[in-house]
């Protein structure tokens, strides 16, 4: 079974102490460990924001705060300010990882609402059994970890761990072909079995299809569209060049007027030829080194574009005043690596 290392991080300066707080937090840590979950106990408080930077490696945070740490005036209390900074650091990069506070019942009275609403829970010291609290925290940690992998990656991991034989390309059959020679054994050990078992072709039914957008691939495309706030998103494995051609074939018809950068990518030239479009070129700037720079604003003026249409020998007889270009495509960055706004 595939296991990932995402420990539950406990931050408590009394983690190794023999006082009441130390005994309680260690009992909770032991209960979590007995349930098969890894625990990382941290005793040094220091700057909490440093611990927040470990959010990508953890499955949950448990932060212990003693009631004695608070002084009157919670808005100005150093403990509250430090805790707020810790939570803000985590939530800046991770909205979902569970965060728990561990303390006495009255400790929560010192905390403002902007901190409380970011917590998954407040664990009252000794109010419940360590075993029950451990199961609750582990449930939330597992739920968080289960939601990390996007649809296709999750399906790929499931397939690689399912013990399915590979009878299709690539020819190494899930890495088995490399096991027949000493150097192949080295190759297999270097890259690892997971990578080689997951190296499959696009004919695996369990992973969906790129051509008809089904299964996990379709779910991943929907997820990507949500992330990019787009109506649709389609995955292409042929690179940017083929993606450009696909957009042009969908958008441009023969004899359409298209406006492109004179320094355009070669895939745009291919698209012009394949679609039968008529190009109008916008001329970029060059410096005395010959380095291609931005297209000047004057090239974007409607009057300048109409003039280019009127002077284009391929557009004789076309009324430049009424002609409507179908698409404008700019190449960013330039071939010399200049990126401009």
Mean pLDDT (whole number) for 147-153: 93
Q: In this structure, how many other beta carbons lie within 10 angstroms of the beta carbon of residue 200?
A: 19
Helix (H, G, I), strand (E, B) or coil at 41: strand
Q: Is residue 201 scored above 90 in pLDDT?
A: no
CA-based end-to-end distance of the chain: 49
Residue 333: asked if its preceding bond is cis (omega within 30°), the reply is yes
Collect contacts of 174-177 with beta carbons under 8 A, ≥24 apart.
174/199, 174/200, 175/199
How many other CB atoms are there within 10 angstroms of residue 83's CB atom? 22
Q: For 103-128, what is the mean pLDDT?
A: 81
Residue 333 CA to residue 292 CA, distance in Å, equals 10
Q: What is the pLDDT of residue 44?
A: 65
Q: Is the pLDDT of residue 19 over 80?
A: no
Least confident residue range of 36-40, 162-166, 224-228, 246-250 = 162-166
Q: Which residues contact 283 (CB under 8 A, 6 or more apart)?
A: 262, 295, 299
* Rounded CA separation 209/218 (Å): 8
Q: What is the pLDDT of residue 145?
A: 94
Q: Give how far Cα 155 sits from Cα of 55, 194, 218, Å.
A: 24, 13, 12
Domains of the chain: 8-146 (3.40.50.2300), 151-228 (no CATH), 239-329 (3.40.640.10)
Give the bridge partners for 280, in sequence order.
Answer: 259
């Amino acid at each position: 079974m595939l296991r990932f290392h995402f420990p539950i991080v406990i931050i408590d300066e009394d983690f190794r102490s023999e006082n009441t707080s130390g005994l309680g937090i260690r009992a909770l840590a032991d209960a979590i460990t007995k349930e098969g979950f890894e625990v990382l106990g941290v005793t040094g408080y220091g700057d909490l924001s440093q611990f927040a930077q470990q959010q990508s490696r953890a499955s949950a945070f448990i932060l212990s705060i003693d009631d004695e740490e608070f002084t009157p005036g919670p808005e100005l209390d150093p403990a509250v300010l430090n805790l707020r900074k810790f939570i803000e650091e985590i939530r800046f990069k991770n909205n979902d990882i569970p965060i728990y506070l561990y303390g006495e019942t009255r400790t929560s009275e010192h905390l403002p609402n902007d901190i409380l609403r970011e917590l998954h829970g407040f664990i009252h010291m000794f109010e419940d059994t360590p075993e029950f609290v451990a199961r609750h925290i582990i449930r939330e940690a597992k739920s968080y970890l289960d939601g990390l992998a996007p649809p296709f990656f999750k399906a790929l991991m499931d397939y690689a761990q399912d013990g399915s034989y590979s009878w299709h390309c690539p020819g190494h059959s899930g890495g088995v072909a490399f096991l027949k020679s000493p150097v192949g054994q080295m190759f297999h050990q270097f890259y690892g079995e997971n990578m080689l078992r997951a190296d499959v072709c696009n004919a695996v039914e369990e992973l969906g299809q790129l051509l008809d957008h089904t299964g996990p691939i379709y779910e991943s495309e929907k997820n990507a569209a949500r992330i990019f706030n787009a109506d649709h998103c389609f995955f292409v494995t042929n690179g940017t060049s083929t993606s450009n051609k696909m957009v042009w074939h969908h958008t441009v018809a023969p004899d359409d007027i298209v406006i492109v950068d004179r320094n355009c990518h070669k895939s745009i030239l291919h698209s012009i030829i394949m679609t039968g479009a008529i190009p109008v070129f916008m001329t970029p700037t060059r410096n005395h080194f010959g380095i291609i720079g931005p297209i000047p604003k004057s090239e974007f003026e409607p009057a300048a574009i109409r003039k280019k249409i009127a002077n284009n020998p391929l557009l004789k007889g076309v009324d430049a005043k009424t002609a409507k270009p179908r698409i404008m495509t700019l190449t960013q960055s330039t071939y010399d690596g200049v990126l401009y706004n």
